[in-house]
Structure 1
Amino acid sequence: MEVLTCTAIDAARSLGIGKTKLYELIGQGKLKTIKIGRRTLIKADSIRTLVDEAA
């Protein structure tokens, strides 16, 4: 099964950035999130899109 979302810590780690920069990217709309209960999860496809655009 393909991973569809990840936590903020996992997303920051996979991008090689800190949580502050991660939340800045979320605020700019460059990373898409979903809320499940109290958890904020980052969509894996938005991480891939961000990396592809930066390359």
Structure 2
Amino acid sequence: MSEFHATLYGDDAERATQMKDRLDQELPGSVASNAEMVRTLLDLAEESLE
């Protein structure tokens, strides 16, 4: 199993927090964790690239 770790600081961390809040508000269900947020953003990125 692979693992991916990222640490965000400053403006990037604030932006990630804001995006998590936005996803919670705009998508069905909720984004319970940072990992779930990243999975959701990966899904959205893949959709936009297809």
Q: Which interval holds the TM-score relative to the shorter structure?
A: 0.3 to 0.5
* Structure number with larger C-alpha Rg: 2
Greater relative contact order (Cα 8 A, min sep 6): structure 1 or 2? 1
**Which protein is richer in strand relative to its size?**
1
TM-score (ref. length: structure 1): 0.41
TM-score (ref. length: structure 2): 0.43
**Which protein is richer in helix relative to its size?**
2
